[in-house]
Structure 1
Amino acid sequence: MKRIGILLGALAVSITATSAFAIDIDSRYQPYQPTTGVSGSLKSIGSDTLNNLMTLWSEDYRAKYPTVKIEVEGKGSSTAPPALIAGTSQMGPMSRPMKAAEIDSFEQKYGYKPTAVRVAVDTLAIFVHKDNPLTCLSLTQLDGIFSKSRLSGSPEIATWGQLGLTGEWAGKPISLFGRNSASGTYGYFKEVAMVNGDYKDTVKEQPGSSAVVQGVAADKFAMGYSGIGYKTADVKAIQVSGRDGQCQEANQKNAYTGAYPITRFLYIYVNKNPSSPLDPLRGEFFRYVLSLDGQRDTSKDGYFPMPYVFAQQELGKLGLK
């Protein structure tokens, strides 16, 4: 999977964000301008990571077009391709790119590939309880914590003492929370942190990101992972170091440069015939998402805005420029 930092770094993206709480939106973004002739119903089926953001976008979009109806269902990225193929949804949010087999199945039915639209940037956060003194973990350590395969060469890590914590923490086992296999987050973490190894049997798989965060918040000795947008005051996102050994915060600057090693785009997939324009209902939805208003929603939900240059590329891909 191509790393986001390679793409963003190539454009020499420059921002002023210095902490996880400072989110900047490019000044070139313009407010969304409503138009006429927009009506109908949309169904969105897919990513749990994007569920709250899709709901927020949909509510604000409907405020501009009161006759529009949008239903959002977020049970995991793997539910998006079948729904798009079957025509039971018009939008397929995903926290990972579609797999080759999913694209092939879509193309077999429609004769063309689905269109992937990048809509936000996410740092996949490693959460611990707010009272946990741990500050940083490496990808290799995460492999030793979550994977029984440990393909990175890490020794098995089962207690907080093995991570350098002392006192009451030293002998306590690490209680692990993660996503289930329907989740794109499950697959992305498996690829980047675990070198595609297998999860330990002790990982408590959750149906949604909020359940992961709630589990960590309720257990002083827990650790889990989810998109940064699900962070609450009861947990903290620790720094993560990549292969260079440098600890990095899960903030906007480190996401854009790729310094934070578990960074990704978030997508909405659509069925767009290359020979036909996108219908106004979906077209204006994407115009809204990739406008100043839509990207403010993105920031409000705790994710990072699409770099403006990339947003323009996505609008061009949809024939909306």
Structure 2
Amino acid sequence: MKLKQLCVAVSIASAAAFSTVSVAEVDPNLPTYERVGGISGNLSSIGSDTLNNLMTLWAEEFNKLYPNVNIQIQGAGSSTAPPAITEGTANLAPMSRAMRDTEVQTFEERHGYAPYAMPVAVDMVAVYVNKDNPIKGMTLPEVDAVFSATRRCGGSEDITRWGQLGLTGAWSNRDFAIYSRNAVSGTYGFFKDSALCGGDYKSSINEQPGSSSVVQGVTESINGIGYSGIGYRTSGVRVVPLAAEDGGEYFEANSENAASGDYPLARYLYVYINKNPNEDLDPLTREFVRMLYSKEGQGVVHRDGFVTLPNSIGQRVMGELGID
């Protein structure tokens, strides 16, 4: 199976390839990036807010090697990536979800072939509460019953008070201040599909334009609960351990549990590129891709709080892209 199909065919829960990463934060088999000559020009990245920090750090790493390269980064949300790469206004299209069939079809109609999806890291979508909230953990049906109006994950009742989640004393009758990403966000779509079982969000959610503003909202509200990528965790919030089903074991959002598949809201992060299957990549994009799948590139992934990829995935990607 082509690696570009990983986005629809492989779940993190079955991705045994990450087992090496759970022990070694950066795979020692990854190559060391070696600078080449003649690289200059402009790169543009448009897409995911979740990947915005990571793209910025990668750009800084790349500029250390190639100071004559200008890299522009916009991170308004994953839904901005497909039109940007389709219309050619971006070379790099970071997304925290896979492209939808309609987005791929639009690209194919324009270019005659599909965009290429590069998995670049593993993220964990975290459920955040205020740092003073004592909750021990939540099940996905409970998460669904807090955030959704439809309870498609099987919850028996709408959850509107912290007491329904086992909190006592002053917490028992407190309601929720619910923070969510907005619909342009890939994280919004992922959470809807994976935590709400495809159901509908409650009308009472406070939609936010970015992941950091979700976390900030939870920080400022003692009753707050929200979700975003694990890379946005701060000292003002707690990450709630999650269980996939009622009665199941709670698992922390960490690299070991993402690698094993025990944490139920792990996902690939992608960077899409326009790769004509009959042509070589341009040198600038080629070298940026080589850096992503090097010790240096995956070291940036680890420092930014995400889970790194093993060398085997990098080698498969570069092999399919014709990169030596």
- TM-score bucket of the superposed structures, by smaller chain: over 0.9
Q: Equivalent residue for 2:254?
A: 251
Q: Is the 8 A contact 2:54 2:301 kept in 1?
A: yes
Q: Is the 8 A contact 1:5 1:259 kept in 2?
A: no
RMSD: 1.4
Kindly tell me: are residues 75 and 12 of structure 1, through their superposed partners in 2, closer, same or farther at Cα, counting changes over 3 Å?
A: closer
Residue type matched to 2:275 in 1?
Answer: K
Q: Equivalent residue for 1:181?
A: 183
Write the mapping of 1:33-72 to structure 2, written as runs, cut at 5 A: 33-72=34-73
Structure 2: segments with no counterpart, 5+ residues: 1-7
Q: Equivalent residue for 2:270?
A: 267
Q: TM-score, normalised by structure 2?
A: 0.94
Q: Equivalent residue for 2:15?
A: 8
User: Aligned equivalents of 1:262 and 1:130: distance in 2?
Assistant: 21
Q: Per-residue CA shift, 1:149-186, capped at 9, x if unaligned?
A: 11122110011111010111111101100100000000
DSSP 3-state at the match of 2:83: helix
User: Aligned equivalents of 1:136 and 1:80: distance in 2?
Assistant: 34
User: Aligned equivalents of 2:187 and 2:130: distance in 1?
Assistant: 20
User: Aligned equivalents of 1:4 and 1:84: distance in 2?
Assistant: 25
Q: Is the 8 A contact 2:13 2:262 kept in 1?
A: no
Matched, 1:135 2:144: no
Identical columns (%): 45
Q: Is the 8 A contact 1:51 1:72 kept in 2?
A: yes
User: Aligned equivalents of 2:240 and 2:70: distance in 1?
Assistant: 39
Q: TM-score, normalised by structure 1?
A: 0.95
What is the aligned residue count?
Answer: 315
Q: Per-residue CA shift, 1:104-152, capped at 9, x if unaligned?
A: 0000010000000010000111111111111211110011000001112
Q: Is the 8 A contact 1:38 1:65 kept in 2?
A: yes
Residue type matched to 2:125 in 1?
Answer: L
Q: Equivalent residue for 2:308?
A: 305
Residue type matched to 1:89 in 2?
Answer: A
User: Aligned equivalents of 1:15 and 1:32: distance in 2?
Assistant: 19
Residue type matched to 2:19 in 1?
Answer: V
Deviates further, 310-319 or 256-265: 310-319
> Shift of the alpha carbon at 1:43?
0.7
Q: Is the 8 A contact 1:3 1:264 kept in 2?
A: no
Write the mapping of 1:96-135 to structure 2, written as runs, cut at 5 A: 96-135=97-136
Q: Per-residue CA shift, 1:26-49, capped at 9, x if unaligned?
A: 111232111011111011000000
Write the mapping of 1:176-255 to structure 2, written as runs, cut at 5 A: 176-243=178-245, 245-255=248-258
> Shift of the alpha carbon at 1:245?
1.3
> Shift of the alpha carbon at 1:296?
1.0
